[in-house]
Amino acid sequence: MELNQFWEQVKAELISALPDNAHPWIYPLELSGYDKGVLTVVTGQAMGRDLLRKNHYRQIVEVIKNISGNPNSDFVIIYDVNAAKSLKKESDKIQKKATAAVQKEQAMENLAYMQSASNLNLKYKFENFVVGESNEFAYKVTKSVAEAPAQKFNPLFIYGNSGLGKTHLMQAVGHYTIFNNSKLKVKYTKLEDYLNDFISINRSGNAVENMSKFNKKYTNIDIILIDDIQFIEGKKKTMDQMQHTFDTLYNKGKQIVITSDRMPKDMPDLTAALSTRFEMGLMVELTPPDFQIRFEIIKKLAQNNDLKYTDEALKYIAKHFSKNVRELEGAFNKVCAFAEISEKELDLQLAKKVLKCDEIEDDISLEKIAQVTAKYYDVDINDIMGTARGAKVSTARHLSIYLSREITNKSFASIAEFYSKKHTTIMFAHEKIKKELPLKKELDEAVREIKQALKFI
Ligand code: ADP
Ligand code: MG
């Protein structure tokens, strides 16, 4: 993450977390540095330094921890009038370039807003979402919703098993809006938060007033992101209230994004009214990531960690954790911690030792891919390997070549050698299938089934 952005977010969160009387000391703080979890800031006010140190040190460290995700965060505040002045000049320059003042204010408000309701994770941006065959559609539609809210897919309903990136994609809409369209107000809420807020309306104080506050909080916005809606099932009153929130926002032309671990039709205790509403926009599924995506995800992590590693080790991890990205990341972190503590390179031997996974089958061979594809299309494997021309055989051959490239990461040259064909012929076949896949349902199905038969997924 860009350092200045990080600092802006820390500042915004401090403003929302600390009492009003501390704000005058927060605003003039200038970023001086950030190293190994320690955030250093400079102020031209000696009193500001003393009061923040004395009264709010712990809270400030907590905020830095939350935003950076680094448990060893610390905070140093230095009093230096000249340094504060020159740093201010610099940061003013940066800010002028970035956005107009009004927009910035709204961005800050949005940030505080999102954070107050959630553990907003700075990692959950579009830029950090690895895209590949299995999640491209979900990524594209979500991005298009961020770019043009309430114009295309409303509501956008993202569903899929746990740990596949639903929260990540959803929060990416929030981050995108904050940084690119900051005039809009965006709110992220877990269903749980919504539920608790709703329950507490009747708990204390004036219920009518509380209700109006509640409505304002959830409908006076441009984009609402509701995470894990499945927890609403069976809660009759909350469901009715959600219907009201939904209709209010929808009728005002506001964007609604929802995630769930299931489709509405698989939630028997959801009211029919809500079910219909959730289904009336676009529903998109996140499926387990293919090998290439898994590999890229941990490669990015390894690079961000400034870690010495071998691709072989990463491939081993990616191969053994295929169902859930959260578990994949967990496995990587475990190995990574071990490598750091023992001051060793993350290589295959270390990964195996730490994870102790059951050996799954060896790398799938080109031959096996050709065999399974031939069987799927009910053609002779010799025809796939040869030059026979019929439509069925050609498709089978092209697909087999395509899968060889996708599954094994072998080079075009070595695939060409295996098929005894020209390099360009292989590339052509690969490209052809790649283009046709999104258009031809039967091809897509064939890819899925053959991969399954190869136990690749
Ligand atoms: P869900 O909400 O579906 O349970 P999350 O969005 O919490 O899943 O994702 C779990 C973890 O996996 C997060 O750390 C997230 O950043 C990561 N993740 C999931 N998919 C991807 C992806 N395509 N690229 C990068 N990280 C991903
Ligand atoms: Mg989630």
Q: For 349-408, how does the pLDDT look when each residue is reduced to its tens digit (9 = 90+)?
A: 999 988 887 655 556 788 889 999 999 999 999 999 988 888 999 999 999 999 998 887
Average pLDDT, integer, range 202-222 = 92
Closest residue by Cα to atom 23, ligand 1, is: 130
From 124, 226, 325, give the residue whose CB has the most ligand 1 atoms within 8 Å, as the site to mutate. 325
pLDDT given at position 46? 81
pLDDT given at position 249? 97
Least confident interval from 8-12, 17-21, 85-89: 85-89
Query: Rounded to the nearest whole angstrom, what is the distance from the C-alpha of residue 123 to the centroid of ligand 1?
Result: 10
Q: Residue 324 CA: which ligand is closest?
A: 1
Phi, psi for residue 234 in degrees, rounded to 5: 85, -10
Query: Rounded to the nearest whole angstrom, what is the distance from the C-alpha of residue 174 to the centroid of ligand 2?
Result: 14
Average pLDDT, integer, range 343-353 = 91
Query: Rounded to the nearest whole angstrom, what is the distance from the C-alpha of residue 171 to the centroid of ligand 2?
Result: 10
- pTM metric for this prediction: 0.61
Residue 240 near residue 271, CB atoms below 8 Å: yes
Each residue of 331-340: pLDDT tens digit?
999 999 889 8
Query: Rounded to the nearest whole angstrom, what is the distance from the C-alpha of residue 155 to the centroid of ligand 2?
Result: 18
Give ligand 1 pocket residues (Cβ under 6 A). Answer: 123-124, 128-130, 135, 162-168, 289, 293, 297, 325-326, 329
**Ligand 1 atom nearest 164 alpha carbon:** 3
pLDDT at 100 > cutoff 60: no
pLDDT given at position 182? 75
pLDDT at 1 > cutoff 80: no
- Tell which wins on pLDDT, 144 or 54: 144
pLDDT given at position 32? 80
Q: 32: which 2 tokens?
A: 């001086």
Spatial separation of the C-alpha atoms in residues 234 and 113, rounded to whole Å: 29
Query: Rounded to the nearest whole angstrom, what is the distance from the C-alpha of residue 29 to the centroid of ligand 1?
Result: 34
Q: What angle do CA 264, 266, 272 make, to 5 degrees?
A: 50
From 326, 328, 332, 333, give the residue whose CB has the most ligand 1 atoms within 8 Å, as the site to mutate. 326
- Tell which wins on pLDDT, 453 or 155: 155
pLDDT given at position 166? 97
**Ligand 1 atom nearest 165 alpha carbon:** 6
pLDDT at 425 > cutoff 80: yes
| pLDDT tier, 426 (very low <50, low <70, confident <90, very high otherwise) | very high
pLDDT at 242 > cutoff 80: yes
Query: Rounded to the nearest whole angstrom, what is the distance from the C-alpha of residue 289 to the centroid of ligand 2?
Result: 16
Q: Residue 163 CA: which ligand is closest?
A: 1
| pLDDT tier, 323 (very low <50, low <70, confident <90, very high otherwise) | confident
Each residue of 24-83: pLDDT tens digit?
888 888 888 787 788 888 888 888 888 888 889 999 999 999 888 888 888 888 887 777
| pLDDT tier, 119 (very low <50, low <70, confident <90, very high otherwise) | very low
Closest residue by Cα to atom 20, ligand 1, is: 165
Query: Rounded to the nearest whole angstrom, what is the distance from the C-alpha of residue 161 to the centroid of ligand 2?
Result: 9
* Mean pLDDT of the chain, nearest integer: 88
